[in-house]
């Protein structure tokens, strides 16, 4: 006997729902199986990075104390999120292709891929900035003062750089005497063994303003960053051989007599009683430039720190200095961690403060891709802040893409200014 039409529909609907539930359950089972296999493959890839008998310590990626303890004990670290999933320095789960990003080697960089002592924060007020984009290739930069040597601007890594083929000297002239608190940022490629450069303040008579100089030495490929006295006493020293094969950021942070020097993601000098002196002229000496040239991709000198909270209260928004991402990616570069920590500390000190994190890009590429990239970058900063203990309810993130430039996109310097992260008080 045929079932009534309504009953038939109910039976069919019930059967379809049962089939859908079975399909959903099967799909979830497949998803769980895929997740399990993926997780197992990642863990296996990480395990394969360690020698027999080498025991890694698992630390949540924002737990600096855990990572520092492991570093002191000489143990490697596997960074995880709160659920135990291996993650990279920004808290993003790793895959088998980049599993090494979850590992911090014993004696190597610390939290989030950075030396646990990396605390460089760029100065707020720029006194001098040069990326060599404003002058012609083949010329000597007009904003530097030439003293001696063979130096010229060349095309370099998609931009421009100052190339030195011989020993030489040039001066960076500031609009005022450097303050007690200042920073110096240099992107430098040493290119071969034995060359080095040093910089120091000089007075009107051309003599050093203090008894110390900052030295970046590629002697025998070691890439040493150090602070030395006139009598040759080395205050601090550390090796970084990468300086012979790639452009590395050299950073100096001075607060009175306290001076710190950073090469790459590591602090290489920490001197509480340095005598750099102060003046309005910073002299660069290039020595032992032999068969291969050396390159300066950028130089920036800036006046000391700022009151981040005060700026937010006064202006309602601030542009952060020192938050950087991998090219065309939302992965935070290691040196960004100190700045994010500074933001977290401000929010801990002011528990009623709420902020929106805004990501901005230049106009390279298409607008839709830039919009997505800016959203992901803002979200990455928010994720790191929540990992540092800031409640998610106090944080918003938004991407502005290329819609709000603060400088012309016609030059690399302008595009660099447009690639930024801003904090907005809510």
The band of 56, judged by pLDDT with boundaries at 50, 70 and 90, is confident
Total number of domains constituting the chain: 3
Question: Residues 357-398: pLDDT tens digits?
Answer: 999 999 999 999 999 999 999 999 998 898 888 999 999 999
Does any domain span residue 24?
A: no
Comparing 48-62, 109-123, 262-276, 312-326, which segment has the lowest mean pLDDT?
109-123
Same domain, 156 and 282: yes
Q: Residue 272 maps to which CATH number?
A: 2.60.120.560
Does any domain span residue 16?
A: no
Residue-range definition of the domain harbouring residue 160: 125-303
Same domain, 277 and 401: no
pLDDT for residue 376: 93
Q: How large a percentage of the chain has pLDDT more than 90?
A: 36
Same domain, 97 and 236: no
Does any domain span residue 44?
A: no
pLDDT over 60 (residue 62): yes
Same domain, 382 and 399: yes
Which H or E element spans position 69? helix 64-72
Same domain, 156 and 197: yes
pLDDT for residue 180: 92
168 touches 147 (CB < 8 A)? yes
Same domain, 289 and 143: yes
Question: Residues 151-196: pLDDT tens digits?
Answer: 999 998 888 999 999 999 999 999 999 999 999 999 988 776 667 7
Same domain, 328 and 398: yes
Q: To the nearest whole number, what is the mean pLDDT of the chain? A: 80
Does any domain span residue 41?
A: no
209 touches 200 (CB < 8 A)? yes
Question: Residues 15-49: pLDDT tens digits?
Answer: 445 445 544 554 544 444 444 445 677 777 777 66
293 touches 286 (CB < 8 A)? no
Q: Residue 328 maps to which CATH number?
A: 3.30.1330.60
Residue that is last in its domain, among 303, 336, 370: 303
Same domain, 280 and 409: no
Whole-number Å distance between alpha carbons of 272 and 324: 28
Same domain, 157 and 101: no
Residue pointed to by tokens 């938050």: 323
Residue that is last in its domain, among 74, 91, 113: 113
pLDDT: is 14 or 212 the higher one?
A: 212
Does any domain span residue 241?
A: yes
Give how far the C-alpha of residue 300 lies from the chain's centroid of Cα atoms, to the nearest Å: 16
pLDDT over 80 (residue 136): yes
Same domain, 265 and 337: no
Question: Residues 394-423: pLDDT tens digits?
Answer: 999 999 999 999 988 887 777 888 999 999
Q: Count CB atoms within 10 A of the CB of residue 306.
A: 16
Residue that is last in its domain, among 65, 83, 113: 113
Does any domain span residue 45?
A: no
Does any domain span residue 51?
A: no
242 touches 189 (CB < 8 A)? no
Does any domain span residue 134?
A: yes
Same domain, 160 and 297: yes
Mean pLDDT of 68-95: 78
Whole-number Å distance between alpha carbons of 284 and 231: 19
78 touches 86 (CB < 8 A)? yes
Same domain, 407 and 314: yes
pLDDT for residue 214: 85
| Both structure tokens of 44 | 């296996």
DSSP labels for 295-322?
A: EEEEEEEEE----HHHHHHHHSEEE-SS
Whole-number Å distance between alpha carbons of 283 and 17: 78
* Nearest 10 degrees: Cα torsion 406, 412, 416, 417: -20
pTM of the model: 0.62
Pick from 355, 361, 340, 346: nearest CA to 405: 361
The band of 218, judged by pLDDT with boundaries at 50, 70 and 90, is low
């Amino acid at each position: 006997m045929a079932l009534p039409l309504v009953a038939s529909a109910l039976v069919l609907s019930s059967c379809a729902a049962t089939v859908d539930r079975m399909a959903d359950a099967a799909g979830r089972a497949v998803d769980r199986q895929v997740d399990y296999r993926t997780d197992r493959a990642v863990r296996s890839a990480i395990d394969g990075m360690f020698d027999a008998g080498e025991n890694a310590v698992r630390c949540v990626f924002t737990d600096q104390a855990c990572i520092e303890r492991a570093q002191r004990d000489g143990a490697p670290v596997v960074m995880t999120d709160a659920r135990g999933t291996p993650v990279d320095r920004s808290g993003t789960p790793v895959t088998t292709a980049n599993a090494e990003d979850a590992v911090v080697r014993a004696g190597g960089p610390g939290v989030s891929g950075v030396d646990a002592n990396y605390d460089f924060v760029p100065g707020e007020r720029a006194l001098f900035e040069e990326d060599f984009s404003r002058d012609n290739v083949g010329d000597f930069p007009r904003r530097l003062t030439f003293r001696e040597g063979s130096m010229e601007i060349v095309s370099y890594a998609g931009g421009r750089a100052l190339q030195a083929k011989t020993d030489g000297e040039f001066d960076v002239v500031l609009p005022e005497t450097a303050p007690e608190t200042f920073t110096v940022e240099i992107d430098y490629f040493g290119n071969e063994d034995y060359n080095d450069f040093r910089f120091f303040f000089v007075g009107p008579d051309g003599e050093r303003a203090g008894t110390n100089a900052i030295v970046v030495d590629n002697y025998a490929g070691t890439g040493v960053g150090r602070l030395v006295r006139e009598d040759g006493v080395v205050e601090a020293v550390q090796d970084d051989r990468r300086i012979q094969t790639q452009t590395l950021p050299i950073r100096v942070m001075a607060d009175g007599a306290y001076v710190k020097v950073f090469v790459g993601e590591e602090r290489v000098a920490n001197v509480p009683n340095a005598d750099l002196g102060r003046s309005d002229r910073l002299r660069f000496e290039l020595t032992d430039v032999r068969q291969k040239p050396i390159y300066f991709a950028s130089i920036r000198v800036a006046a000391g720190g700022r009151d981040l909270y005060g700026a937010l209260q006064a202006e309602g928004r601030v542009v952060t200095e020192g938050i950087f991402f991998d090219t065309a990616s939302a992965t935070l570069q290691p040196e960004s961690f100190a700045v994010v920590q500074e933001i977290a500390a401000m929010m801990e000190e002011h528990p009623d403060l709420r902020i929106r994190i805004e990501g901005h890009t230049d106009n390279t590429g298409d607008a839709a891709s830039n919009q997505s990239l800016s959203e992901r970058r803002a979200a990455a900063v928010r994720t790191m802040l929540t990992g540092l203990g800031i409640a998610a309810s106090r944080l918003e993130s938004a991407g502005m893409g290329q819609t709000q430039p603060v400088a012309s996109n016609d030059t690399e310097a302008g595009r660099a200014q447009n690639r930024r992260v801003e904090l907005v008080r809510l």
